[in-house]
Structure 1
Amino acid sequence: MIKSKERPHSSEIRHGVRASTWIPGGIAILTLITAFLLQQYPEVLQSFSSKMSSFSDDSFTFTVNWYDQTMDKDRKFKLTFFPRDNSVEMFDIKHQRVFLKRIVCDGLHVGDFFVGNHVVVLARRLQVLEYGDERTKHALEPNHEATFAMVKPDGLKNLGGILELIENEGFVVSDAKMTLLSREHAALFYQEHDRRSFFGELLEYITSGPVVALELMRSNAVSEWRKLLGPTDAAKAIQDAPHSVRAKFGTDKTNNAAHGSDSPEAAARELNFFFGNDQNKSDRGAFPQSWAKLENTTCCIIKPHAMKSKFTASIVKDIQASGFQIEGLQTFHLKYEHAEEFYEIYRGIVQDYTGLVKQLSSGRCMVLAIGYGGSGSEDEEASQKFRDLVGPADPDLAKTIRPKSLRAKYGRTKDENGVHCSDLPEDAKLEVEYFFKILQ
């Protein structure tokens, strides 16, 4: 008896064609379709990829700008940040293609992503231009409301204490500078009071010494800063808000330590007045310029890692408690080439020169011009006296031989050692001038 052929399993047949012939053909067709879609509709696939990723990871999307020095032009990207593992991916908007596949970037935090800030991804300095979608904007924008604060001439001696209150209330100092207001700038800033009887006295007071202008960020920043300030009259503040800035550091209605915007509209106007914007930054007369004492001072830089760790207030407080004066102050987010130029003298001398440069350009730093409270020869020794307070470059060594030094208290590694200070008296003036003259 002749046996009939075994019937193929149904899974082996697709429309009368055996799987052995159908599968290779199907793969070829899918490959062609995928290649076509990549060429014709890259944004669709990129969007699909991002959405698929978001199913398993919370992510936030931003439009960022990178200035490409090689091409001498700005390049815009869609950047997606995944806070679960601090990873990012980037998509080239103009050329509609993936620029950077998802990769972990240590040191980034979701709090670094707000409009106007700079972040560093693989040595590229990116400016956040806008939120990339409504979900990201809705989730993050309320946490980054900005307000204006000013430490007045009488409050400057307690700058560290004021910054400590600010940090403890969850504010981030996103921009800062010391300035010496001219009478014209002061009159313009306080123009709403120009018909009041105290206007002349107010102008005399606010121009009597340097002030520190601050941009503060947090949720409900305007109202929370006003609450932290306390009543205008320091005497009333002591009675009604004893833990407020004016209660702790103010004297009377005029000498009340600090100022704060009273509305979001006023905050926008006052921030623009002191820090300018993209339209008027080229006009140096449009807003008060940074000021620093260039003679008989030494340079101190609170490094990016220390600012992120909220050590700024404690460092400034320690500096002032040790008898030093803050004679200049400004925040910077240095480009890599500027950090490299500043540290040029250390090239070939320190073991990890590149690490120093990367740390200094990795985020916001605060540069201080430091003066000593003496006169004559004592002023000339400010650099050495301050270096003693700072301590050895290696925090581990500092913890052993100078446990109360700044680097012992706030340093982690040789690169992340809390602060930089001028090594030699002859370097001090050059370093102060680099930030407060050359980079202005």
Structure 2
Amino acid sequence: ALLNGAALVLVNREILASGEELVNKMAQEKVTTVTLPPSVLAVFPKTELPHLQTIITAGEKCTTELVKNWAPGRKFFNAYGPTETTVCASMYLTDPEEEQAPPIGRPIGNFQLYILDRHWRPVPIGVPGELCVGGVGLARGYLNRPDLTAEKFIPNPFSDRGERLYRTGDLVRYKPDGNIEFLGRIDYQVKVRGFRIELGEIEANLNEYPGVRDVAVLAREDQPGQKQLVAYLVADEENKPSPAELRDHLKERLPDYMIPAAYVFLDAMPLTPNGKVDRRRLPAPDMEAAVLRREYVAPRNETEEKLTAIVAQLLNLEKVGVYDNFFELGGHSLLATQFISRVKEEFEVELPLITLFEKPTIEQMALAVQEAKLVSKAPAKPQIKRIARDSRRVRRSDLQQRSGKKPDNNEPQGKPGE
């Protein structure tokens, strides 16, 4: 700003944390260009800022809603660049008519961006990988931290001039048009029930849904041994999606083990002093309110009562209705195995595990249990036993002895030759 004859407006953390006060400050100072994290821009009240000509977002994933709200009538750039690369490495001029979240664009001059797998090989278009940055903006390293410097600043395998790359730890992928899409942090890779999951990929897909302004996904273990995915969302009040809609949206794009068990709506994301989402302050979900439920209908018979009790205990819920879906309540494959085992103990019937996946509601499972009971109580079919041919021959004298009659000497007593 100063090198180009502009005034640089500085604000304290209190003003930065309050969207309304920051907007008032920008209006008062007639700010023409502003750089903000998306999570700060998301809490801005909708107001006219006639002097504001250029908005630059950086530091977090920018959403479609932010672009639609703030891009019309001005330039809106979605930029990317960590401190280790002198702040900016790529940029993208957004379009409010685009329905997808804006990418971080292409490298700016004198920078190179590489998307690599864990073996430092370039990944194909559409495949997530770690973003590595090369170019004149790279820092020399971390002060008095040679170990961290060696870990993060690696030799450039695509150069023979002794150049280096900076490993950003950010998860990205190439779009078909060559722009780069930011997905999240490699650090946010978790393992749930044996599956390795990139939380950033879930967040990226949720951010695409209309009405969603900000998203964070965590793997929580509030109950020992029950780690599950929880999605935190900030959404437009007039266009707020339901958990069922979000779940259906994800099921079209992601495998079942990447579908969050609970959806928590917040007025705003908790932020760190530098304006990024503070994941440690995201609240534990109230599972009774956060899980996906159908209209509650109480159990109507003994079988449904026992099944709802089993589900409630397995999923730590107080109340389960007959139309509730086991998996939408937070169930997963490991809990499904426990459920089938409990059903066997309670009802003394054998049900294959696939039954729960095909009939996931209490009502459907109750019918399956009753059908299994009827099959187990059906009278056994008579068994036909094959006997040897000789055993079917019965002497007539034997029959007469049993009946008390004397044998007739003129009648044959068996087969000739016997």
TM-score range, shorter chain: under 0.3
TM-score with structure 2 length normalisation?
Answer: 0.25
Choose between structure 1 and 2 for higher RCO, CA contacts under 8 A separated by at least 6 residues: 1
Bigger radius of gyration:
2
User: Counting helix residues as a fraction of each chain, which structure ranks higher?
Assistant: 1
TM-score with structure 1 length normalisation?
Answer: 0.25
